[in-house]
Amino acid sequence: MIWALGLCCLFLAISGELVQRFRVAENEPSGTLVGMLPSGHPTSPSLADPSGIKYFFIYPPESNVEAAFSVDDRTGEIRTRQALDREQKASYVFLAIPVEGAEGMRVLIEVQDRNDNAPTFPKPSYVALQLSEFAKVDSEVPLPSAQDPDAPPFDVQRYEIAGGNVNNAFRLSTRRINGVLYLDLVVNSELDREFREVYILKINAFDGGEPPLRDTLTVNVTLMDVNDNAPVFDRARYEVHLGNSDSLVPGSPIITVHATDQDAGLNGQVEYRLAPSPGDAQRLFSIDANTGLITWSSSQRMGRLYELLVLARDKGQQPLESSTSVAVSTSVGMDKLKVSIIFLSADGGASVVEDTKPGSLVGRVSVSDPSVSHRNLRCALSVEGDHGDVFAVKASEEVNYLILAKPVDRELRESYNITIKAAACGQSTKTASREVQIRITDVNDNVPQFESPLYTVQVSEKTPPGTAVIRVQAFDPDQGANGQVRYGLVAEDASYQHWFSIDSQTGLITTADVVDCELSFNAKFVILAEDFGEPERLSSNATLSVSILDVNDNPPLFNKRIYNSSVPEDAPTGHCFVQVNVRGSYQRLIINI
């Protein structure tokens, strides 16, 4: 204890004197030269040690200096005994006292950091989060922070989402407090559990090394359901024909309706009921609340046609509901044929694209007799209406087709009303007809057309920027994006391109800069009009001619400031003795002497 106390006193006595600093990088191999202690200047030669020892070293208790370094007491050479770890010990200190009586020194060895530690997230590197699908945008959830024992800049410098961030639903936010880079997960856009329920994010932490070291954290984000979806029926309308209904008894199945709800749990569980409807339909039918099976519940004979309204409701705390209609028909009183059309358009609707070639198929036509199992009948078909023979029926043994007989142009006519009639169906005397409206859908087959091929305007040099000059307009008779027009303006000479600008949507041309008649007195521009059609955009152009009206904005300038000349004393009247020149273009110029 007395010896340790004496060393501490000696350290305090020398600590204010000479300090010799050395630096060595961590992880250097054993035997690495750290430095040399300076040679002393003896104050008492008689004290020299005949053994050659020049230094006497004092190591603080538990300093581990002797384990980490070898210090030669004759040469003052300091070398490492082992690889050093800055994260275990960042510096070493001991006293070196020259034997020859020079001033003692405090030796400080600093271990310099290397990027030998990667960032590490707390283990296990996995986090499970639950968020409401209605979580507000910019709301934050704290995540575990990565740690790196290296010193700056080799500690944790940044985080990034490396994978799983579908549609950029999340982003990261960081803040540094007391050297720790804390991490938050931020909601970046509106969430929807029905679009995606689980996000498995891979988040990397990087240090400042070159190349940087990293660690990965897996974040499993599960969206909790909110009752934001109503049940959806498989069909907007159900139709069922029962033929002969005499065999129906209470409990006979009629049809099963089905609705799905994309929500989870009780929010997605659906139950069914019949809504009140005109007549006695609700009394005659029943529905299973769980399965959606509709049954006949009366002992009386079924009539010709019934219309039912079926409701589907979920079981959420604030339940949502939707509806569908069910048409139930029988053969009672059925004395007409049925004409059915399956249209062959892309969306299955009654439509024809305007560039369809004559002879192309529009739809398949079939005729059935409800009283004989709906089988396809061979009949004489005709097309009537105000279509002007644009449509016709092409019959074959297997199937009948509605075809386009003549070209159509949506810009001339947008729809046709036709009636398909069926007669002479075998031995039957029944007839049938079907009215349908066929829409003509647009293609981008018209270029924008300007009102005029040439626009002429005059603009004064004094016109300030932002002044309206003229509004041009191009018309495109196509529909939707095919008929939307945007404008552009290109100067024939780039030197005055900046004089004018055009609003791409309205076609309003305004001055964008001050015009200069001296640069050009007649500026010409090409006005472009382009539609937004797909797959090819169509365009046209017109010419804008701008006459620049001059104003007296440039004073005349003499070529010289002083003209020197001599005149003979006998010079006659009218003798020319000097000529002056003035720069500039003027219609009239007056020079006074």
Residue 49, pLDDT > 60, answer no
- Domain range spanning residue 425? 338-441
More reliable by pLDDT, 336 or 27:
27
What is the pLDDT at residue 209?
86
| Residue 461 sits in the same domain as residue 395 | no
Judgement on whether residues 92 and 36 belong to the same structural domain of the protein? yes
What are the DSSP E strand ranges found in 247-320? 253-256, 259-260, 270-274, 285-287, 293-296, 305-314
Tell me the β-bridge partners of 539. Answer: 530
Same domain, 368 and 316: no
Residue 563 counted as domain residue? no
The domain boundary residue, chosen from 393, 416, 441:
441
Sheet holding 69-71, edge to edge: 33-36, 77-80, 69-71
Average pLDDT over residues 495-516: 95
Least confident piece of the model among 35-39, 223-227, 292-296, 336-340: 336-340
Q: In this structure, are residues 467 and 511 in contact, taking their beta carbons and an 8 Å threshold?
A: yes
Q: 236 and 220: one domain? A: no
Q: Quote the mean pLDDT of the chain.
A: 84
In this prediction, residue 17 has a pLDDT band, given cuts at 50, 70 and 90, of low
Rounded (5°) CA angle 465-468-471: 140
Please report which confidence band the pLDDT of residue 317 belongs to, taking 50, 70 and 90 as the band edges: confident
Task: Report yes or no: 290 and 315 within 8 Å, Cβ to Cβ.
Answer: no
One domain, residues 297 and 383:
no
Cα–Cα distances in angstroms (integers) from residue 362 to residues 217, 241, 342, 349, 438, in the given order: 58, 27, 9, 10, 10
The end-to-end CA distance of the chain, in Å, is 114
Contacts of 369 (CB under 8 A, 6+ apart): 337, 338, 375, 377, 425, 428, 430
Q: How far apart are CA 349 and CA 270, in angstroms?
A: 31
Alpha carbons 76 and 79: distance in angstroms, whole number: 10
User: Does residue 576 belong to any structural domain of this protein?
Assistant: no
Give domain status of residue 84, yes or no.
Answer: yes
pLDDT tens for residues 69-124?
888 888 889 998 888 888 788 889 998 888 876 678 899 988 877 877 889 999 99
Which residue, 183, 207, 224, sits at the end of a domain? 224
Do 27 and 56 belong to one domain? yes
Single pTM value for the model:
0.39
Lowest mean pLDDT across 88-102, 146-160, 398-412:
88-102
Domains contained in the chain, number: 5
User: Judging by beta carbons within 10 Å of its beta carbon (0-12, 13-18, 19+), is residue 389 exposed, middle or buried?
Assistant: exposed
Enclosing H/E stretch for 583 = strand 582-583
Q: How confident is the model at residue 575 (pLDDT cuts 50, 70, 90)?
A: low
Q: Which of 441, 457, 483 is the last residue of a domain?
A: 441
* pLDDT for res 67: 85
Which range, 87-91, 235-239, 505-509, has the best average confidence (pLDDT)? 505-509
- The pLDDT of 302-330, averaged and rounded, is 86
395, part of any domain: yes
17 and 93, same domain (yes or no) = yes
* CATH code where residue 370 lies: 2.60.40.60
Query: pLDDT for 457-478, tens place per residue?
Result: 999 999 999 999 999 999 999 9
pLDDT for 48 equals: 47
The CA distance from 185 to 137, in Å, is 11
The answer to the question of residue 562 being in a domain is no
Whole-number pLDDT of residue 103: 78
